[in-house]
Every structure is written in structure tokens, then in C-alpha cells.
Amino acid sequence: MLRQRFVTAVVLGSAAIGAILFLPTEAVSGLAALIGFAAGAEWIALAHQDSKGSWRWFYGLIVAVGVLLSWKAFEFSDSLVVIAAVLWTLLLIWVAGKVWAGKAGRVPAHPGLGALILVPALGLAPYLHSKPIYGPGLLLTVLLVIWAGDIGAYLGGRRFGKTALAPTISPGKTREGASVGLIFAVPTGLASAYLFSVPIPSLWVLSGALIVVGIAGILADLLESMAKRSAGKKDSGSLLPGHGGVLDRIDSMLGAVPLYSGLSILFLGGH
């Protein structure tokens, strides 16, 4: 299982990096829509486990179209990016409250909630990529932060994990693992921003922003765990060997990307 997980991660990560660095934004938006299609089909399967394939594909198509439309809407108005960031912040604060209180949060996988969760984050991927000069680096930086955080949390949890982070939501995650994940994520983000010449106001400001983004990724992961727990499932699907479904692979970025995009406007300005 570990080897399978590693191979899948390397293949997906390499493909994503290559696409971000060498493909035009239009192609990146198409890939984001394709991911939205697959994730949407998995989400609706959580909501209606007895639903037929045609309904799943139709919902996936709705999400895919929503991703493309939201991308254009975000490019038209940075205010919409800020709104998406604020909405996700409120949602993640609610998740954090559940974790803090030790409550068994459950989130029914409603189709409307699925669109709200999937569309903004995936639409913001090509939005970030389209920024002149440093756009690809801007997008790649947030993804590297999430990936490094996931790797750190996995390794840190296996080596040091003792205290459950949210035992009633996701018993396998530990506070120690989450801490190691952040320790991995922040330097990775700093190195990426420097490597790709992303303009930053200061080292300390960027470090603080990356910590916020890393925490957002952890909470977004827990949000998806709530939805899966409500549906009585361990994974959202089985498409990716060793990782479950597409939704399982992108859950952290769904919350991290909107906050990262909002912070980029705050510190780097708009168009």
C-alpha cells in the first residue's frame, strides 16, 4: 500500500508540475474542470449512494462547467475572490470549532454544498496561473505547500503520532502529524516563492500566510472526512491507487487555495 501510494503521488505530482509550468492557462482550466468533473461525481455518490451513473456524470458536468465559469468570474472581479476566501474562512472556523469542542461533526454531502466546496477552489487554480510573469509559480507554491504538508503529516504521524487531532472526525490524524506537516509546508512554500520569483512583502508575512494556508488545508481535509463519515465511507472513491478517490487527493487544497488567493490579493494586489 505504501509503495502504491508513493508511486501514485509521484506520477500525479509530476504531471501537475509539468502542466502548471509548461501549459497555457486555458489548458490548466480544462484540467481543473476535468478534476471538478471527477470530484463532483464522487461527491454526489456520497450524497446518494444508490444514484445511477448518469446522475453522477450530470452533476460532475455541472461542477466542471461551474469551474470554468468561476475562473472567468474571478478574472473579471477580484472582489469575488475575496468573497470566496471569506466564505471558506467562515466554513473552516466552523470546522475548527468542532475540532476544539471534540464534537463528532457530520456534514451531509448535499449537492449544493458540493458545488460550493468544489467550484471556487478549482476555478481559482487557473485564476492564479493566469497572473502575468509569476502566475505559474504562484499556483505551484500553494500546491507544494499542501503536498509537503500532507507528506509531513503522514510521516510525522507514523513516527511521532500519539494524540488524536480530531478523534470523533478522523481518528487517524494526530496533532504531532499536523505539526510536522506545517514544519514541512512552510519552508517548502518559502523556497518555492523564492525559486519562482513570486513577489513577497516580507519573509515573516509570507511565513505567517503559509501557516494560515497550511492550517486551512488541514481543516479542509477534516471537512471532507465529516462528509465521508456522514455517508459511512472511508474513501470518496477508488480511482487513485493508494489514495482513494480524486476528492480524497484534493480535499486539502479545496480550503487552502481560496484563502491563499485572498491573501495574495491582500499582499500582492489585484490585476
- Contact by Cβ (8 Å): 237, 260: no
Instruction: Tell which residue, 233, 44, 238, 221, has the closest CA to residue 149.
Output: 221
Radius of gyration of the chain (CA): 17
Give this prediction's pTM: 0.91
**pLDDT tens-digit readout, 203-259:** 899 999 999 999 999 999 999 888 887 777 766 665 555 556 888 889 899 999 999
**pLDDT tens-digit readout, 91-124:** 999 999 888 877 666 677 788 888 999 999 999 9
Give me the domain span that covers residue 239.
2-268
Residue labelled with grid coordinates 503520532? 161
In 14-51, which positions are buried (b, 16+ CB within 10 angstroms) versus exposed (e)? eebeebbeeeebeebbbbbbebbbbbbbbbbbbbeeee
Number of domains in the chain: 1
Instruction: Tell which residue, 137, 171, 166, has the closest CA to residue 20.
Output: 137
CA 174, CA 250: separation in Å to the nearest integer?
20
Amino acid 146: pLDDT: 95
